Chains A and B, each alone.
Chain A
Amino acid sequence: MSAPGVSIAGGGSIAVDTLAMQAAARRLDALADRLAPLRGRIEGCLADPDWSGLPAARDAVAEAADRARSVAAELAEATAGLRTAADRYGAVEHAIAAAQQAAWAGGAALAGAVTRIGSTLAGPGFVLVAMTAGGILLGAAALGTTARELVTTGRIDPQVDPAVLADLRRALSSSDDLVRGFSLTERPTDVARNDPDSPYGTAGTAAALAGLLPAGDRSIALAPSVLPGTVSGPGSLTELGERTPEVEPGGTQLRIERYPMPGGRSRWIVYLCGTITFSLAAGPEPFDLRSDVVGVGGRPSDSERALVAGMREAGVGRDEPVLLVGHSQGALDAVRLAQRGRFDVRGVVTLGGPTGQLVVPGHVPELSVEHDEDVVPVLGGLAATGAAGLHRVVVRRSLYGGGPPPGPLLVPFGAGAQPHALTAYRETLALAAGSPDPRIVAFERDVRPFLTASDGRIVLVRADRWVRPPGGRPGAAAGAR
Chain B
Amino acid sequence: MLEPPSAAAVLAATVRALAAEADAVPLPEALLDGWASFAALDYQAAVARLTIGVLRVRAALHDAAAALEAIG
Residues of A whose CB lies within 8 Å of any CB of B are 2, 16-17, 20-21, 23-24, 27-28, 30-31, 34-35, 38, 41-42, 45, 48, 50-51, 54, 56-58, 60-61, 63-64, 67-68, 70-71, 74-75, 77-78, 81-82, 85, 89
Question: Looking across the interface, which residue of chain A has its beta carbon closest to that of B41?
Answer: A85
Residues of B whose CB lies within 8 Å of any CB of A are 7-8, 10-11, 14-15, 18, 21-22, 25-26, 28, 31-32, 34-35, 37-38, 41, 43, 46-47, 49-50, 53-54, 56-57, 60-61, 63-64, 67-68, 71
Question: Which of A2, A61, A74 is packed against the most chain B CB atoms within 10 Å?
Answer: A61
* B46–A78 touching, CB < 8 Å: yes
Q: List 12 A-B contacts (CB under 8 A).
A: A23-B34, A24-B35, A34-B26, A54-B7, A56-B67, A61-B15, A61-B64, A64-B64, A71-B54, A75-B50, A77-B46, A78-B43
* A74–B53 touching, CB < 8 Å: yes
* B61–A50 touching, CB < 8 Å: no
Chain A residues touching B, majority SS:
helix
Given contacts A24-B35, A50-B10, A51-B11, contact A64 B50 (CB under 8 A): no
| A38 surroundings in chain B (CB, below 8 A) | 18, 21-22, 25, 57
Question: Looking across the interface, which residue of chain B has its beta carbon closest to that of A68?
Answer: B57
* B64–A71 touching, CB < 8 Å: no
| B47 surroundings in chain A (CB, below 8 A) | 78
* Complex partner residue of A61 from B8, B32, B46, B61, CB under 8 angstroms: B61
* Complex partner residue of B60 from A17, A63, A85, CB under 8 angstroms: A63
Q: For the complex formed, measure the closest distance between the CB of A339 and the CB atoms of chain B, giving whole angstroms.
A: 36
* A57–B43 touching, CB < 8 Å: no
* A78–B50 touching, CB < 8 Å: yes
* A74–B46 touching, CB < 8 Å: yes
* A60–B64 touching, CB < 8 Å: yes
| B54 surroundings in chain A (CB, below 8 A) | 35, 71
* B60–A48 touching, CB < 8 Å: no
| B25 surroundings in chain A (CB, below 8 A) | 31, 34-35, 38
Given contacts A20-B34, A78-B46, contact A50 B11 (CB under 8 A): yes
